[in-house]
Structure 1
Amino acid sequence: MQVNILEAKTRLSELVKLAQAGEEVVIANRGAPVVKLVKVAPVSKDADIGNGKRIVQWLIDNPLPAYMKRRTDAEIDAYIAEERDSWD
C-alpha cells in the first residue's frame, strides 16, 4: 500500500496497525516513495540493552572517520562562544 504524506498524517494509527500486521506501507512525497513502515522485531527481555560495555565496544568498533577532527573541550567551547557572538 502506498499513501502520500498528507494521507499518512491523517491515517497514521491505521497505517501503523497495517504495518504491524505485516503489510508493506510506503509513504510517498508527491507520488515518489520516500519511506516504508515496517514491523520491528520484538526485543528479548534477556537483551542487554543499554549495557555500558556494549556501548563502549560499539564505539571502539565504529570509530569516527579520519576526516572528522576530534576537538578538545576548549575548542568546542570557543566555537560555541564564537557562534553566539555572531548572532548580535
Structure 2
Amino acid sequence: MIKHIILWNFQDGKGSEEDKLKIKNGLEGLKGKIPGIIEIEVITNPVAGSNADIMLNSTFESIEALNNYQVHEEHVKIATIVRSITCNRMCMDYEI
C-alpha cells in the first residue's frame, strides 16, 4: 500500500469555509469513483502554529493505483480547483 500525503497553504485572500469545503468534498468524493483508493481524508482545521493550512491524507492499494489516480479525469477536475485556491504544495508518498 502507498500513503499519499499533501500539504498546502491557501493563496492570499483564499481559505474561506467555502474554499475548504470545496477541496474537502471534492477530494473525499473521489473514493468510489477512482479504483485503488483505500482511504482519503482532507484535514481543514490545523492547530495554531501549523505550517500548512490544509492536508490530504490518503492511502492507495499500490503505486500503480496512485499513478492512475493522478491522471484520472475526476482527480484532474478537482486538482484544477485546488490549484486555483492553494500554493506551496508539499507531497510525500511512502510505502506502508
Q: Identify whether the pair has TM-score above 0.5, normalized to the shorter chain.
A: no
| TM range, smaller chain | under 0.3
The TM-score, its normalising length taken from structure 2, stands at 0.20
- The structure with the greater share of residues assigned to strand is 2
Q: Which has the higher helix share?
A: 1
Q: Give the structure with higher Rg (CA).
A: 1
Q: Structure with the greater relative contact order (CA < 8 A, sep ≥ 6): 1 or 2?
A: 2
TM-score (normalizing by structure 1): 0.21
